[in-house]
Amino acid sequence: MVTGASTGIGEAAVRALRASGWDVVGVARRAERLEALAAQTGATAFPADLTDADQIEALATHLAQTGPVHAVVHVAGGARGTERVEDGLADKWRWMFEANVLAVQQLTAALLPQLRAAAADGGHADLLFVTSVAARDPYPGGSGYNAAKAAEAMIPQVLRQELHGEPIRITEIAPGLVHTEEFALRRLGGDAAAAEAVYSGVGEPLVADDIADLITYALNAPGHVNLDLVVIRPVAQAAPHLLARGPLRPRGED
């Protein structure tokens, strides 16, 4: 099961996992986009808002009836705004914590019994979390997203200890700059010019397929192999706020 499957990394993960032979349930709020993805890939679409506990319960029931569930890939989430701490807006912070933290915790709790059952039958199961370099690298204007992603990153770290001794792999993938259709656009309130400026001039930012390839590798790795944490950035990015714009050249080259 892949969340956030209607766009960006989630959509790319569904495509990559289907190409790799997985049966995939794609979950997101936008039913029309999910249905189109399902028609193209052979995945199953399940529209749901994962900030709603009743919809999480309905999803868990659906998966229990159609499973087994061998892997859960948490992609859904996102950022809202670039305000300083002193200018932070409670509604934006609240949304980020609900989407990036509470939804992830509640969905993980709801599906752990099914993952245990799949592991008992198949040897192992997987919980994979797509967080962000923002979880570890603070930057001006990132406070709300930094806080939410740092909280989300604690979930796999704690789970790895709480599930010690069980055959359930816990993987965290923390991407840097990924040029996707909607992430910056939504963060910046729909300002298309400002969103595109985030990536302007950056030599080869990551794209969603780069992260999807890594997700697929992690799930297809031998069962005794666990990728605890993978930080993945474009070469042009040394830190969240430190981007090389323009061609990359060796020092001293004219």
Active site residues: 145
E strand residue ranges, 53-205: 71-74, 125-130, 168-175, 178-179
- Contact in structure between 215 and 17 (CB atoms under 8 Å): yes
Contact 109, 57 (CB under 8 A): no
* Cα–Cα distance, 117 to 106 (Å, whole number): 18
Listed in order, strand segments (DSSP E) in the chain are 2-3, 25-28, 44-47, 71-74, 125-130, 168-175, 178-179, 206-207, 229-232, 237-239, 242-243
Residue linked to tokens 């816990």 = 170
Q: Check if the beta carbon of residue 26 is closer than 8 Å to that of residue 10.
A: yes
Give the count of alpha carbons within 13 A of 233, CB side only: 17
